[in-house]
Amino acid sequence: MKVLITGFEPFGGEKINPSWEAVKELSDEIDGAQIVKKELPVSFKKVREILPKLIEDVAPDVIILTGQAGGRFNITVERVAINIMDSTTADNDDYVPEDEPIYMNAPSAYFATLPIKSIVKSLRDEGIPAMVSNTAGTYVCNTAMYVALHHVALKGLKAKAGFIHVPYIPEQVLDKPRPSMPLEMIRKALEIAVKESLREV
């Protein structure tokens, strides 16, 4: 078994991205599955180019994409990705899309195929604040989730796929009144998500 799990590079003036910091700390093997960890660029265009190739190269059974959602209080497991790129904030390539489809003539949305409710329950059982989220936004996180699910559907792959948003870590909020979560708790949450997802494969 093989799990592809990704985090994003820093963006928006931040020096670190807790999604990648947590992914980096995961073991290379969890419950007998190989864990392939990759950092994605915060770029609408590059994610569309890189992610399908990455999925083809790794050939994972489970795809868990992760990203930072500064301002959220808990781990949020995303339910749906929509076919739109829309932002008032530039990505790391200074690109600011407005009402642009990720892919022309493609479905309006895809639902995650990860066991989102089971993941949330397992996280809460371990004392980790978590909930299902019904919006991944319209920034690069949503684009990555949509690209992955679209590629899996297009190619008829059996891989389970979805997206998990994580809060800031404490060092990011020293000078701003925003919620945060310890990095070790985020790492543990992702490990639990991997284990729960493997049970469904």
Containing domain of residue 175, as a range? Answer: 2-198
pTM here? Answer: 0.97
**CATH code: domain of residue 50:** 3.40.630.20
78 an active-site residue?
Answer: yes
Number of domains into which the chain is organized: 1
Tens-digit pLDDT profile for residues 122-176? 999 999 999 999 999 999 999 999 999 999 999 999 999 999 999 999 999 999 9
165 an active-site residue?
Answer: yes
Q: What are phi and psi of 180, to 5 degrees?
A: -150, 170
- Where do the H-state alpha helices sit in 1-68? 18-24, 44-58
* Catalytic residue (one of 21, 150, 151, 165): 165
Q: In what order do the strands lie in the sheet with 130-133?
A: 29-30, 33-40, 2-8, 62-68, 160-166, 75-78, 130-133
Q: Do 122 and 196 touch, CB atoms closer than 8 A?
A: yes
